[in-house]
Structure 1
Amino acid sequence: MKSLFADLHIHVGRDWNDRPVKITGARSLTVTNIVKEASRRKGLGMVGVVDAQAPSVQDEIASLIEEGKAKELEGGGIQFEHTVLILGSEIEIYDASCSGPLHVLCYFPYLDDMRAFSTWLSRKMKNINLSTQRFYGTGRELQQYVREHGGLFIPAHMFTPFKSLYGKGVQHSLKEVLDPDQIDAVELGLSADTMMADQLLELQPFTYVTNSDAHSLGNLAREYQQLKLERASFEELRLALQEDKGRKLIKNYGLDPRMGKYHKTVCAKCLHEAVTTKEPCSFCGSKKIINGVFDRIRELHEGSTQNRLRPPYVHQVLLSAIPGIGHRTYERLLETFESEMMVIHEVPECDLRKVLPEKTLMFLLQMRRGELSVEAGGGGKYGKIKA
């Protein structure tokens, strides 16, 4: 068995013809650049690209395989240098049973599986070439297809106020929209962690995943997990999510929820913290109040909490977000110690001391222990580290 770091929610900004896929994604965020960044700089052993339903993205992957730069694995996934690419698609569900739109992640083991999924989706989606498009069918219909074709189904950033399972999709329970028996894991999102999610008893059966939802190369591994696998592949990932045959998720790494954009309930206009969404802002009078993840979970909590023993959740930030690590220092760290994962997890303190000033090193060591002091965010504004 070996361990690796995996970020399973990364968007494609542009295809290899420079056409937009995720419109809000960076132009540099191509499949080729993603796997290069993950393998050569971030130190990720597995990445999930969630716009692989776009035919042009599939064509770019096929080209990498034909050129001998990548290969499809027997257990599913695409090997590129030190990183395995998992083929996924983020999709919006808004059927008659939904209270609002929600996003889900669908993954498949092989390129032919994803091509078949795209053909099926094209009859139920207006534009297969763009990211996170509306699925014209039911959530359970989508789940059934994924299950019958050997895929994985994961609700995305499930507490975010907009376009998520608990943010808008359901009033009280995921059973209103989805079949719990056909959910393979659930994604926490940037404004929640394990302790918060554990307040919902209906989530007890599911493994929690933490991913970056990256819209730029720099944000790869903003959140990720450490997996214990026999080897890196799609089927090994499935076993880890099921905690089967010794495979498992070892740790979750992600932002302190207070740093997420939607942790607190705040006024969307002035960002003043609000007590309730039912009354105008006490500071500016605006009626547009965004319900924070913390308060939404409190609304859903029914008194009982989970008793499942879960992996540790370590609060951390990107290496480049640590006070004192600017562009030049970041590049020097990677030149000296190979990758961001090496710097964060492996390099001894005595070696880091040769590169980093004392105060910056202190922040990095605090992050390793999950002890950074932060100021809360909300209403679309990220929190920050107290320097």
Structure 2
Amino acid sequence: MEASRRNVVIPAHVWTPWFSLFGAFSGFDRVDDCYQDMTGRIFALETGLSSDPPMNWRLSSLDRYTLVSNSDSHSSWPWRIGREANVFKLDEFTYDDVVEAIRSKDAERFLFTIETYPEYGKYHWTGHRSCGVSVPPGEAISLGNVCPVCRRRMTKGVEQRVEELADRPRGFTPVGVPGYRRLLPLSEVIQTILGVNYPGVQKVWAVYNALISRFGNEYSVLLDAPFDEMAEIVDPRIAEAVIRIREERVRLTPGYDGVYGQVRIFEDEEAEGLMEKRGSDRASGEAGRRQRSLTDYI
């Protein structure tokens, strides 16, 4: 059996601590150190959930690689599929055209990547899951990466690993490369607003399916759906949450040592205000639709 010369290899989730290219436990600080004489065949890197393009742009050694985002699915749960993706604008959508758009880093054909917020990823910060300890890079370094509770070694997070290898400041942006958009899975957004512990319950999927039926697919909801149109069919808190995530107006508690990050979309009083407004609007609408009597005309 022979391998086709059209096959390509793109290293995946390159910052994950375990078994990845730059992972804290991999032992490699450069692509060349890992792939040696095969390095020249690699032209793209997949960034993983716990990092995004701005984090990778801080390493000048990665300038020659195109950054792509793909969400691997380790389970059969549908909400794990498509959390990250690549958006192309191609005359023909063929394997060769996709590969060439990635290889050339052509921002007119490879438009942008869809990213989760890196804090959402399971290894963004350094920490120790068993003790519930999670710390940012500076604090982790001051602790010697040792858990302050049990004195065992913590799992080094992606943000700390990037800090170790970066030769550019935060905020550096290269010219002429594909862009990116930050989103979160729609089912998990709905789960958060409804206050349930699991996105697979019927309560979540009833709302999810209502939005998909109206707007066609999950990305159309997350990227383009107007607030007013969403609020016509679902709780306005969910509509507002989608807008805030789209506009990057949310806060996240970073994930660590295999624990997903937690998103905070509203302060308590904000959510209550939206519900009160919904009740007021509904009451006004019902009053406007009530059957008129003769006294209305006197």
- Please give the range of the TM-score, normalised by the shorter of the 2 chains: 0.7 to 0.9
CA–CA separation in structure 2 for the residues paired with 1:258 and 1:226:
22
- Assess if the C-alpha contact under 8 Å between 1:172 and 1:300 holds in 2: yes
* Cα pair distance change 1:371/1:379, threshold 3 Å: same
2:114 maps to 253
In the other structure, the counterpart of 1:177 is 34
Alignment of 1:33-52 (within 5 A): none
Aligned partner of 1:295 in structure 2 is 160
Mapping for residues 1-387 of structure 1, pairs under 5 Å: 116-117=2-3, 149-167=5-23, 168-178=25-35, 179-215=38-74, 216=76, 217-243=78-104, 248-274=109-135, 275-276=140-141, 278-282=144-148, 284-303=149-168, 307-322=174-189, 323-324=192-193, 326-387=204-265
Query: How far apart, in 2, do the equivalents of 1:303 and 1:245 lie?
Result: 23
The CA deviation string for residues 216-264 of structure 1, in whole angstroms up to 9 with x for no partner, is 3221111112112112210111121023788632111111111111000
Larger Rg: 2
Over 3 Å counting, the alpha-carbon distance change for 1:220 and 1:210 in structure 2 is same
Cα 1:171–1:341 change in 2 (3 A) is closer
Following superposition, the deviation at residue 306 of structure 1 comes to: 6.9
Give the unaligned 5+ runs of structure 2. Answer: 195-203, 266-298
> C-alpha deviations, 1:93-130, integer Å up to 9, x for none?
xxxxxxxxxxxxxxxxxxxxxx744xxxxxxxxxxxxx
For residues 255 and 162 of structure 2, what CA distance do their matches in structure 1 show? 17
Q: Which is further off, 311-320 or 191-200?
A: 311-320
Compared CA separation, residues 370 and 227, structure 1 to 2 (3 A): farther
| Matched position secondary structure for 1:253 | strand
Q: After alignment, is 285-294 or 169-178 more displaced?
A: 169-178
> Residues 314 and 369 of structure 1 are in contact (CA less than 8 Å); yes or no, is this contact kept in structure 2?
no
Q: CA RMSD in A?
A: 2.3
As a proportion of its length, which structure holds more strand? 1
* Code of the aligned partner of 2:81: L
**Which residue identity is paired with 1:163?**
F
The count of corresponding residues between Structure 1 and Structure 2 is 242
SS of the counterpart of 2:9? strand
The question of whether the paired residues in 2 share the 8 Å contact of 1:156 and 1:188 is answered with: yes
CA-CA distance at 1:265 after TM superposition:
0.7
User: How many percent of aligned residue pairs carry the same amino acid?
Assistant: 24
Output the amino acid matched with 1:358. Answer: P
* Secondary structure of 1:310 counterpart: coil
Instruction: Quote how far apart the aligned CAs of 1:280 are.
Output: 2.9
Counterpart contact for 1:271–1:379, Cα < 8 Å: no
Pairwise CA distance, 1:376: 1.2
Question: Which structure 1 residue ranges, 4+ long, deviate > 4 Å from structure 2?
Answer: 244-247, 303-306
Counterparts of 2:93 and 2:248 in 1: how far apart (Å)? 27
| Contact 2:21 2:28 (C-alpha < 8 Å) held by counterparts | no
Of Structure 1 and Structure 2, which has the larger fraction of its residues in helix? 2
Structure 1 residue ranges without an equivalent (≥5) = 1-114, 118-147
1:364 counterpart letter in structure 2? V
Which residue of structure 1 lines up, in the alignment, with residue 279 of structure 2? none
The worse-fitting range, judged by mean Cα deviation, of 174-183 and 291-300 is: 174-183
Q: Secondary structure at the match of 1:153?
A: coil
Once the two structures are overlaid, the 10-residue window that deviates more, 266-275 or 375-384, is 266-275
Deviation of residue 303 (structure 1)?
Answer: 4.8
Please give the alpha-carbon distance, in whole angstroms, between the structure 2 residues aligned to 1:253 and 1:209. Answer: 9
Q: CA 1:210 to 1:303, structure 2 compared with 1: closer, same or farther past 3 Å?
A: closer
Matched-pair contact (CA < 8 Å) for 1:204–1:308: no
1:9-36 C-alpha deviation (Å, 9 max, x unpaired):
xxxxxxxxxxxxxxxxxxxxxxxxxxxx
Give 3-state SS (helix, strand or coil) of 1:328's partner: helix
How far apart in 1 are the matches of 2:20 and 2:88?
A: 25
**Equivalent position SS for 1:165:** coil
| Offset of residue 153 of structure 1 | 1.4
